[in-house]
Amino acid sequence: MDRTPFPHRSDFADNGGSAHFTWAALAQDSDFDPIAIPGRIFDMAESVRAAYNNAIDTDPETDYGLRMTSGYRNPIANDRLPLSSEASLHQWGNAVDLAPLRNPESWPPGYDTYDDLMNLIYEVAVIGLDEDLYDFLLHGGHVHIEYDPQP
């Protein structure tokens, strides 16, 4: 498959992250390859995390975490994943997968199942991000969010 335009060398980093999604957490929770395209994946994850916490309650101190289970994927890593598309926007740093925390003891009150939390992540992403710019998909235990502006 033709995967042009390739990301540029200057798009990549080997460290960084954002306030709530550290490089180390990405390495622990995701199909991370220590070289990644930062930027948009962290912006999307932070926006959805903020909307998720706001949906749980209005206390600004509320902070339930999310896991980033996939951010940037190089094309070889991408094609090794059984459900991936050859055209996956993960290969350009334009898609992120978010999931609830694994430990039910750290889940917000009133949400009893992993699926309840998956649905909440999906709903807040759809509400919080412009549908003309982003697409959303619930699948494989995570919510896939991609930046895909419609012409």
What is the Cα–Cα distance from 119 to 122, expressed in whole angstroms?
A: 5
Q: DSSP letters along 14-77, please?
A: SS-B-SSSBHHHHHHHS---SSB--THHHHHHHHHHHHHHHHH-S-TT----EEEEE----HHH
Vertex 100, ends 56 and 146: CA angle to 5°?
A: 95
Stretch near Zn ion under the rule CB under 5 A, chosen from 24-32, 105-113, 128-136, 142-150: 142-150
Interface residue with Zn ion among 64, 97, 107, 128 (CB under 5 A) is 97
- Contact between 49 and Zn ion by CB under 5 A: the answer reads no
- Contact between 73 and Zn ion by CB under 5 A: the answer reads no
Stretch near Zn ion under the rule CB under 5 A, chosen from 5-13, 18-26, 87-95, 114-122: 87-95
- Contact between 67 and Zn ion by CB under 5 A: the answer reads no
Stretch near Zn ion under the rule CB under 5 A, chosen from 36-44, 51-59, 71-79, 136-144: 136-144
- Contact between 29 and Zn ion by CB under 5 A: the answer reads no
Q: What is the DSSP letter of 111?
A: -
What residues make contact with Zn ion under the rule CB under 5 A? 95, 97, 144
